Chains A and B, each alone.
Chain A
Amino acid sequence: MVIQYKCPNCGSDMAFDSNSGMLACDSCGRKDNIETFPKENIKSNNEDTHFHGTNNSHTFQEGEVTEYHCKNCGAVILTEPETTATTCSFCGAGVVLSDRLSGELAPVKVIPFTISKEQAQNAFKSWCKKGLLTPKGFMNADRIKSITGIYVPFWLYDLNGSGEVNATCTKVRTYSRGDYDYTETSFFNVYRNVDLTFLKVPVDASEKMNDKLMDKLEPYNYSNLKDFNTPYLAGFIAEKYNYTDKDLFTRAKERANHYVDNYIRSTINGYSTTTYNHKRIDISQMESFYTLLPVWMVCYDYKQSEHIFAMNGQTGKIVGTPPLSIGKIFTWFGGISVISLLILRILTFILGGGF
């Protein structure tokens, strides 16, 4: 089923405006609250959906291509099975494929975009200029091929982590008396038992998205977390999850394991050395929420090769691997080395050695 939001004023397509957090019409400038948007202006049609595959249910098969029709111009919209919101390639209208957002596939929460396309573009340009090791040509940021707002599917896990540790710790003190140096080592038996709760630990559920890139985009500000509503997706591209919460629990568990371990370590302080004799960490899932999180994907064309960058659509944090300039690497390397050498020589001079 295709859903399009029509302006009550002029009948043009409306899209979600990240600045105001409302549905906005580009033609006449009208803005409408998502919650109170008039139902008669939501155009949808069940008959426009044709499934080309063996299965007509909501669990989509791999490789299945689904055909939809645009309500504006009647053009055929061909999408990948994961797509839940897109734009018509012909008229540019925002399209939400609601049958992919119902039942088990319905997201529970969403963080709407708070950074507009223009803001994202400007932020990316200024980020490029800050690159200490990036080539001059890249720093101009004039080769942005495309910038796309995508709602990426995530599972947010509420986890309980319990940890128990038994360790042998030492405190070492050295002192001198006469012609002898003394090393005094005190041994301690240390025990810690913790019960921790982690809320909304995000794990990327899209096969297309690079997990490391998505991890670097964190943290999101959960005070903006809203109950899911389809108008938030209007004008953006959205994906449905490829992996269930059960599939991704192992990844969430790994992260929580690491967090519990670090927390325990932070409670054992004031010792010279710590050796674990016994460590037990248990992670259990309390709850999980299927959530859509905003990401601006920037495709940058530099020297006949594409570089993909991601920007947190809420906080503006940018991640991705930029090209590096060999000249700049050598310049920085040389500069830091010479300064370090000068500091070392000055220290030697101060301590009574030679310059």
Chain B
Amino acid sequence: MNTLNLMKNYLYRAKALTSGILLTFVLVFSFLMIKPILYVHADSTSQKVYDNAGLLTSEELMSLESAALEIGEKYNTDIYILTDEDSDGKSRKVYMEDFADEKEVTDSTIIFVNMESGNRGVEIQGYGTNKSLINSSRIEYILDDVTPYLSDEEYYQAFVTFLEEVDYYLGIDPSKDTATHAPDNNYASSDKYYEEENGANSILSEFWVQLIIALVIGGIAVGIMAFNSGGRVTVNERTYLDANHSRVIAQRDDYIRTTTTKTRRPQNNNNRSGGGGSGVSSGGRSHSGGGRSF
């Protein structure tokens, strides 16, 4: 009879434990399953040039479209040209990352010219195989040649130069490069939205880091619940204090001195993948990158 009771107890405990573990896994996996649904899926069109800022004529648009398609087919890649005059409060980097996620790009090179008042700039990013072929060093060389045209408002010529150089670099192994070009030190300050967004790209936004934090929170919460399950001390210094016969006899707060320390703010270049604008999009797409203001 005693053995039977012990068996029942064991089975009950095992059942409760299994249900708890199952619930945890169901919740975690259901979360992981719905994760991809939360991304915006755009219809995959063959359009390569998105001139939202209206910098190009219709002839120039058609010319760039065909050139981008031609180079893309040649190297089995996608090349996109974007312009806009309102980036919705996003940095160039995040604007492009969102575009890449929306188009679900794989092997791609993207150039984005932001014409927003007070925040004009250009950014180039390489995704997939293009991350190494159009790496951050090569992007800096391309920007050296493209930015002067943009400053002179020769937008068509800037994009033609971009396509020519991408065509050149996609055909050459990066290991054959004789020199590398370091990213521009003023990369971050060239974009007024970059600083405030950069915090979101910190280590705290990594899924696994957040999972660990969540597990720690869960552990602490359950620990507190278990600790308080048997009741707790609810008295403090005020419970037994006789306010009528208690007082502060003397109190003094004397100012002594003030010291000031000055530290230089580090340049926030987000060099996670070895380039000024390199990083990972919200959809998990890793890319090379670089940018300039003009």
Contacts and interface: CB of A to CB of B under 8 A. Distances in A.
B35 A355 contact: yes
A322 B17 contact: no
Contacts of A195: 246-247, 249
B141 to A, nearest CB: 28
A181 B263 CA distance: 5
B31 A219 contact: no
A50 interface: no
Contacts, number: 239
B248 A192 contact: yes
B258 A184 contact: yes
A353 B225 CA distance: 33
Contact of A259 (B21, B90, B230, B241): B241
Interface stretch (A1-9, A20-28, A99-107, A340-348): A340-348
B229 A134 contact: yes
Contact of B250 (A181, A191, A321, A337): A191
Contacts of A330: 17, 20-21, 23-24
A91 interface: no
Contact of B263 (A180, A200, A341, A352): A180
A29 interface: no
Of the four ranges (under 10, 10 to 19, 20 to 34, 35 or more), the interface on chain B belongs to 35 or more
A191 B252 contact: yes
Given A133-B226, A179-B264, A333-B219, A341 B13 contact: no
Interface residues of A, number: 79
A56 B202 CA distance: 80
Interface stretch (B115-123, B128-136, B171-179, B277-285): B277-285
Interface string A186-219: 1111111111111111000000000000011011
B253 A201 contact: no
Contacts of A179: 264-265
B215 interface: yes
Given A195-B249, A332-B222, A354 B283 contact: yes
10 contacts: A134-B229, A190-B252, A191-B250, A191-B254, A218-B235, A218-B239, A303-B9, A327-B19, A329-B226, A341-B214
Interface of A: 131-137, 168-169, 176, 179-201, 215-216, 218-219, 258-260, 262-263, 266-267, 303-304, 317-322, 324-338, 340-342, 344-345, 348-349, 351-355
